Amino acid sequence: METQSWEVLVHKKQLEAAAKIPIEWRLPEKLTKISEMSGINVLDVPRQSGILTPRQLEITEEWDATDLLRKMHCQELSAYEVTEAFCIRAAIVQQVTRCLTETFFERALQRAKDLDEILCKTGTLVGPLHGLPISFKDCFNIDGIPSTIGFTSFIKNGPLSSTSPAVRILLNLGAIPYVKTNVPQTMMAADSHNYIFGRTINPHRSNLTAGGSTGGEGALIAMRGSVLGVGTDIASSIRIPAVCNGIYSLRSSADRIPYGGQTSSVRGGLAGIKPCAGPMATSVRDLELFMKLVTNADPWQFDSSALFSPWRTVTPKSALRLGLILEDSHFPLHPPVLRTLTRATKTLEAAGNQIIPLHTLLMRNACTLAFRMFSMDPALTPFKHIAASGEPTIPALASTSLHHGYMPYGCAPLTLEGLYDLNEEPNHLKEEFRDRIMQAKVDAIIMPGYQGTAQPHDLSGFVPYTVLCNVMDYPSCIIPYGKANKSADEAFIRRVNYKPPYVADDIEGAPCCIQLVGRNMHDEELVKVAELVSETLML
């Protein structure tokens, strides 16, 4: 039998995906023709569409996960009406951003009905997340649902017969999975683009990336098609989409949230940098809600690699001592990022917090080390998956090659000697960073999340300010704060080599943010710092 071309497989998959959106949830064609170059803002499309009722708009726009759970648990809202509202809104968001891979609305609505019936008959909640719709990055496996993770060669795998431990825990807690979200081909790029589901665009400006590799989640949550999603992070993949889309996210310490049982793009067996799973949300308290409930579920029972590390109760401080990492000169901050960080630190100081400058050039070194580690597989496994179907590589992959002009360093030698040397390097970086933190006696670090805002498609490249935490295995949190404004940003323009280039008109109105970094396994303290910082910045 003749093998079908990748284009035919993709076309069939796209038709199947489109057919899963009910006719009554479909947008008119004039709203779905979104140019990837035009810079259109689509945040208001769900409201403008007229598809959502006033109550459904209220459900999806007015409350975070914590509020929704409270209302459902006192039966002010039903699980069914909340789930239906988010299913409809997610379907609308998909049509203007291409943020979803798999939708299973009927299955989610049936679970919501079942949960409502249990609560009505017994007066008992299935768990603390009873009735809450939660979205998942495409790599998380759910029984009966495919996980293609951006490879057309994975289409033939069809629906899976397993469920990732993280998903199983959330199901036990009462959550309702309803969609999976888009990722880049290989899951190693800052643009969520593949040839199956297309390119996820940034809802703030269609000419900008939604980030990666959890970019589908970023766009979906930014448009309130979800209030709580689960992503993964080995090279900033939870945080860069938060940077790009103006949402909250937490890269947790590795192994606190079970990572096993996912569909992977890479070859196993290389210790290197540990990947982790974590939450993306619309508030800091929802990040803590997720972490507390999952870590308290003893995830080792579901995943042998997960640590037993129940969430600790931490007394919040009334004033903070924050270390400030402003910039690595090799990756100068774009004007809106420099302005945002300057404004944030001044506001925090005015509120009685101390800001302690920390001078370090670790970002460039950590970034080089990380991408050398990612390149150690002699089999080039992700590219074998690409070659298996004959599809081309996505353009964004060229922006993170170590032969790139921004990072003119070769890969580490593919030898045992080279591997030993590579594995030793993080220890030196960790010790230097620990020493600086101890000398400064800080509660946490405030720093950029990325040298710029969301960038035009395929130009994001290296992510030194976030991948540092992957190398160190430090928890870090993205907090949205303001937007690019070329008139306000003009005073912060300098004669430096911006990487990638700074073009004010391209990013006008793009979200800005700050990043907070804490000590390994001190996620609890970091979340409390994030809460106080958010309150101080009046977010």
Closest alpha carbon to 394 in 164, 188, 101: 188
Residues 340 and 233 in one domain: no
Residues 463 and 494 in one domain: yes
**pLDDT of the residue at 116:** 98
Domain residues for the domain of 504 are: 321-537
Q: What does the pLDDT look like over 527-537, one tens digit per residue?
A: 999 999 999 99
Q: What does the pLDDT look like over 474-527, one tens digit per residue?
A: 999 999 999 999 999 999 999 999 999 999 999 999 999 999 999 999 999 999
Whether the CB-CB separation of 237 and 217 falls below 8 Å is answered with: no
Token match 């000697």: residue?
A: 417
Does 276 fall in a domain? yes
Token match 């995830």: residue?
A: 299
> In the listed set 267, 301, 335, which residue is the last one of a domain according to the structure?
301
Cα separation, 135 vs 179, in Å, equals 5
Residues 477 and 330 in one domain: yes
Range 223-227 average pLDDT: 99
Residue by residue, DSSP assigns 51-105 as -S-HHHHHHHHS--HHHHHHHHHTTSS-HHHHHHHHHHHHHHHHHHH--EEEE-H
Residue by residue, DSSP assigns 326-390 as --BTTBPPPHHHHHHHHHHHHHHHHTT-EEEE----HHHHHHHHHHHHHT--TT-HHHHHHHTTT
* pLDDT surpasses 90 at 327: yes
Residues 190 and 237 in one domain: yes
**pLDDT of the residue at 270:** 82
Does 313 fall in a domain? no
Residues 351 and 496 in one domain: yes
Cα pseudo-dihedral 132, 274, 401, 448, rounded to 10: 60
Total domain count, the chain? 2
SS3 137: strand
Q: What does the pLDDT look like over 163-183, one tens digit per residue?
A: 999 999 999 999 999 999 999
Q: What does the pLDDT look like over 269-308, one tens digit per residue?
A: 887 899 999 999 999 999 999 999 999 999 999 999 999 9
Residue by residue, DSSP assigns 119-131 as HHHHS--SSTTTT
Range 318-337 average pLDDT: 97
Residue 442: both structure tokens together: 């800080």
Does 310 fall in a domain? no
Cα separation, 465 vs 447, in Å, equals 8
Whether the CB-CB separation of 91 and 45 falls below 8 Å is answered with: no
Whether the CB-CB separation of 442 and 323 falls below 8 Å is answered with: yes
**pLDDT of the residue at 1:** 46
Does 1 fall in a domain? no
Cα separation, 119 vs 131, in Å, equals 10
Q: How far is CA 470 from CA 253, 272, 273, in A?
A: 9, 10, 7
Does 315 fall in a domain? no
Residues 228 and 374 in one domain: no
Q: Is 304 exposed, middle or buried (0-12, 13-18, 19+ CB in 10 A)?
A: exposed
Q: What does the pLDDT look like over 70-112, one tens digit per residue?
A: 999 999 999 999 999 999 999 999 999 999 999 999 999 999 9
Cα separation, 344 vs 461, in Å, equals 26
State the chain's mean pLDDT as an integer. 96
Q: What does the pLDDT look like over 462-474, one tens digit per residue?
A: 999 999 999 999 9
Cβ neighbours of residue 434 under 8 Å, at least 6 residues apart? none
- Which amino acid, 394? I
**pLDDT of the residue at 539:** 76
Closest alpha carbon to 369 in 437, 274, 466, 272: 272
Does 308 fall in a domain? no
Residues 115 and 19 in one domain: yes
Task: Check whether the bond before 500 is cis (ω within 30° of 0).
Answer: yes
Does 488 fall in a domain? yes
Residues 288 and 408 in one domain: no
Does 297 fall in a domain? yes
Residues 69 and 205 in one domain: yes
**pLDDT of the residue at 361:** 72
Closest alpha carbon to 308 in 317, 319, 297: 297
* pLDDT surpasses 50 at 216: yes
What CATH number did the domain enclosing 173 receive?
Answer: 3.90.1300.10
Catalytic (active-site) positions: 137, 213, 237
Residue 492: both structure tokens together: 């912060």
Q: Per mean pLDDT, which range of 132-141, 403-412, 419-428 is the poorest?
A: 403-412
Other Cβ atoms closer than 10 A to 505: 7
pLDDT classification of 2: cutoffs 50, 70, 90: low
Range 6-16 average pLDDT: 98
Closest alpha carbon to 450 in 532, 334, 533: 334
Residues 294 and 430 in one domain: no
Range 114-138 average pLDDT: 98
Residues 368 and 490 in one domain: yes
Q: How far is CA 531 from CA 248, 396, 468, 521, 525, in A?
A: 11, 34, 23, 18, 10
Would you give the DSSP letter of residue 265? Answer: S
Residue by residue, DSSP assigns 417-457 as HHHHHHHHHHHHHHHHHHHHHHHHT-SEEEE-SSSSSS-BT
Residues 377 and 456 in one domain: yes
